[in-house]
A and B are shown apart, each in its own frame.
Chain A
Amino acid sequence: EVQLVESGGDLIQPGGSLRLSCVASGFAVSDTYMNWVRQAPGKGLEWVSVIYSDGSTHYADSVKGRFTISRDNSKNTLYFQMNSLRAEDTAVYYCARGGTLLWGQGTLVTVSS
């Protein structure tokens, strides 16, 4: 079955770090471009990052310098390292495949003291 499964969301204090994972099944994450999209409580969808098949990456200004997208081809897994977390980073984080669109079910990150 072709699917994406995220994990790693948690309650974390401001300034803390967290790593999200997204395991892909049925296709190779290295063959396409993969994204992270987030949705703050009661708000709309916001694209935050992409990694292309050649390894190049892009970030939204709101997370640039704090978050890092990466992948492990051997584990067919996408990662999102989030550092210096702020209250405004609180959201459900979705991984999503580009091209032939596919989304995971999301994982909740709550930044609060």
Chain B
Amino acid sequence: NAGVTQTPKFRILKIGQSMTLQCTQDMNHNYMYWYRQDPGMGLKLIYYSVGAGITDKGEVPNGYNVSRSTTEDFPLRLELAAPSQTSVYFCASSDALGGGYTDTQYFGPGTRLTVL
């Protein structure tokens, strides 16, 4: 049981490049989330999904896209990388047994992205 895995661990992009951050969970959780953490700041929600085929915007969605074709995978796409997207990105998942809002979120180890 690996929990939530993220790839890559580190990446350096040039301005304007695109990339996909991968996230996979093996806990059969319905809910999945993408956060970013800037230095000295808390985690901010980018996008989330309550099940396969269903996604919605979080607090800071601009410049990102997501898809959820399976329960396990929730990739995050950056289309035109900008320096403002330099951050650490965390993927998380939770089940819905508590009705949603009381469910513990399990986080992956993060992807450190630098845009130069």
Q: Do A and B come from one complex?
A: no
B-contacting residues of A (Cβ < 8 Å)?
none
